Structure 1
Amino acid sequence: MQIVIIGSGNVAFHLAKAFVLNNIPLTQIFGRNEKELSRISEEINIPFSTEKLDEADLYIICVSDHSVEDVSGFITTKNCLVAHTSGSLPKEVLTGEYRKSSFYPLQTFSKSKALDYSKIPFFIEAENEEDRKILFSIASKISENVMESTYEKRKYIHLTAVFACNFVNHLFARAKEISDSQEIPFDHFLPLIDETVQKIYEIDPKSAQTGPAVRNDKRVLELHEQLLSGESLEIYKTMNHSIQKMYEL
């Protein structure tokens, strides 16, 4: 089977690397960003192109959601299998005379951060059983956790991921702004962050909640509000309101 990955961003980089590490036949990486494609190509020794898209049995599209439909139109090989890696798009967004599917890895990807690919959950959706087996076989060579998922379910998987990852990371960034403003090394907070994450491996997140909001400690809440302004103050108030509402305080 000949496989082409389309894209040059974080997902394309890691998926291409995972394919090569697990001896999955990858014949080309295709995209617009020659600098990033060259970087990926040099690391995994797979040819790239910004001009000619090779014929393949399977194309995996790893681009931003708003570009998936347009990029899928570049594929002219008939009766091939095409998969996008989006968590929030249906497979029907793909255009062309080919079989449509989705190949969604549930993870946050950054090129500068190494990952254990075997731990990444993959969610597969295909039009028929044969294509489902093809995608399952490929994903299973990478990960220990491969599942089938409809688009309706995958939308909620992606939404949950935004809350659990993107929003949490934004709070880390806001927290670092506060510590930086007072010249407090953010490293001091890493053991707290580690323990917060590790705790939910053993305790339900709702049961693990601590802090002044769940204690309804009005003195501390008011003190903190006096120390904040702008968006950070609004986030602080919104988060505390959400916590207190969850616990009916």
Structure 2
Amino acid sequence: MKVGIVGAGHVATHLVKGLTQAGIEVSVIYSRTKASAAALAPYAPAAITTDHPDFRAQAPADIYLLAVPDQALPQLLPHTLFPARAVVAHTSGTQALELLSSLPGVETGVFYPLQTFSKEKEIDWRRIPVCIEASSQNAQETLVHLGEKLSDQVVLMPGEARRHVHLAAVFACNFTNHLWGIAQEVLQKAQLPVNLLEPLVQETVQKAFQFPPFTVQTGPAQRRDENTIAAHLQLLAAEPQYQHLYQVLTQSIQARQPENGPVSGKQA
């Protein structure tokens, strides 16, 4: 089995590393700039690097994974040419499988790893769910086989379910990370060490997987502690965008809690 990687960003980087470590040959790496593709060459010694999206004659692969940003896919596809009968899959959480239907002579699919990727941070592929959708039985079997080489969690998932998973992931990961960034900024401006938050954050994440999160909500919004809320808003007076976000989240928490409901705790 040979795999071609289209893209050179965060997802592509970890795919190249993970596939190579799993003993799968990455035969070609494409990027719009040759330098970006070449930067991944050390992780896949057998790979050809290229900035030409005609893959028919340069190190043909059995599977091509399109690991490019969602907004780049529609612009990329009209310029790509793949070997006949190859399986071509995008890695998007939101784009439809049908987006690839215009590609001639190939079978298509989705190979969506449910994880946040940064080039600087190594990841454990065995723990990452890989969501699969395919246009044919052969493409499905091929992508499942590839997924199982990387991960212990390979899930067949139609597009509508995948989009819901991606939405949930944005709340759980992207928005949460942004809030942690704001929290660190608050501490830094007060000249306080950011690692003060580490035990609290770790406990919050662990508890979220032990109990339904809404049932263990804590904090001034849940307690309807208007004095504390007002004090926090005053501290954010110089940051109106954060002040507004605080108010929106407070209202959302209170909308989930009964007026005189049980108080889960007093911390934070």
Taking structure 2 as the reference length, what is the TM-score of the superposition? 0.89
Displacement of 1:42: 1.5
1:244 aligns with 2:254: yes
Question: After alignment, is 191-200 or 11-20 more displaced?
Answer: 191-200
SS in structure 2 at match of 1:83: strand
- Written as runs of structure 1 = structure 2, the 5 A alignment for 1:5-24 is 5-24=5-24
1:187 is displaced (CA, Å) by: 1.3
2:264 alignment partner in structure 1 = none
- Alpha carbons of 1:205 and 1:33: their partners in 2 closer, same or farther (altered >3 Å)? farther
The answer (yes or no) to whether the contact 1:122–1:146 under 8 Å persists in 2 is: yes
- Structure 2 distance, partners of 1:141, 1:56, is 17
**Which is further off, 67-76 or 18-27?**
67-76
Percent identity over the alignment is 34
The answer to which of 45-54 and 177-186 deviates more is: 45-54
Pick the aligned partner of 2:203 from 174, 178, 195. 195
Q: Please give the residue correspondences for 1:73-112 in structure 2 after superposition, counting only pairs within 5 Å.
A: 73=78, 74-94=80-100, 95-97=102-104, 98-112=106-120
Contact between 1:2 and 1:27, CA under 8 Å: does it hold in 2?
yes
Q: Please, which runs of 5 or more residues in structure 2 have no aligned partner?
A: 260-268
- Which residue is equivalent to 1:135? 143
- 2:28/2:61 contact within 8 Å kept: no
In the alignment, the residues of structure 2 paired with residue 157 and residue 126 of structure 1 have an alpha-carbon distance, to the nearest angstrom, of 17
CA apart distance, 1:118: 0.3
Offset of residue 76 of structure 1? 3.8
Aligned counterpart, 1:219: 227
Distance 1:108 1:100 in 2: 24
Cα pair 1:61 1:72 within 8 Å, conserved: no
Shift of 1:221: 0.8
Q: Deviations over 1:37-67 (max 9, x none)?
A: 2222113323311236333221110000011
Aligned-pair CA distance for 1:128? 1.4
Please, what is the CA RMSD of the aligned residues?
1.4
Kept after mapping to 1: 8 A contact 2:26/2:44: no
Deviation at 1:103, TM superposition (A): 0.3
Structure 2: distance between partners of 1:81 and 1:70: 20
TM-score under structure 1 length normalisation: 0.95
How much has 1:241 moved relative to structure 2?
0.3
Q: Does 1:126 align with 2:131?
A: no
Q: 1:239 is matched by which residue type in structure 2? A: L
